[in-house]
Amino acid sequence: MEYYLYIKSLHLIFVITWFAGLFYIPRLFVYQIEAFSKDEPEKSILGKQLKLMAKRLWFIITWPSAVLAVLFALVLLHLQPGLLSLPWMQVKLGFVVLLIAYHVKCHLIFKELQIDVVKWTSNHMRLWNEGSTIILFSVIFLVIVRDAVNWVYGVIGIILFSVILMLGFKMYKRIREKNPEA
């Protein structure tokens, strides 16, 4: 137990770097998708550079951070198995499963873009980018507030937060349509 706080610190550090990667990779996807509509040689130059940036981010930061965050979480749960019986921890682990699914889907998108397969629009990818934000907000509030949170208010809060994100996205889309340089 003397190492518990060190392991918890390492877990939090790698959660933070994992989220950093998950926040940035969809932005790189947006730029990659938009590069496909450019004329040559700009298309090739941007495409090559953005693929390299995405590859480095994904395999040097995001994947190792995900693996280490989960590894340290498993160690923490092994040291404190009673946490698994707490309702807030069970809900948190549900969000972790969602986060892993989000990560895997990002990996599939990454692989497609690396071979120049574009199935998403840049606007859809901007919207996709908000998934990790919603998961992060949910987990942080859940961990900090724990049992004091009323589940009904929590669900309503996440829905309202999602609606606000969608409205912000639509406003930004309108601004971009009026001014493509924004």
- Residue set of the binding site for heme: 11, 92
State the binding site: 11, 92
Instruction: State the Cα torsion 100-124-121-123 to the nearest 10°.
Output: -130
Which single residue is written with the structure tokens 């495409």? 47
Q: What is the dihedral of CA 169, 127, 146, 1, to 10 degrees?
A: -130
Whether 25 contacts 112, CB under 8 Å? no
Amino acid at residue number 179: N
As a residue count, the chain comes to 182
The answer to whether 133 and 23 are in contact (CB under 8 A) is yes
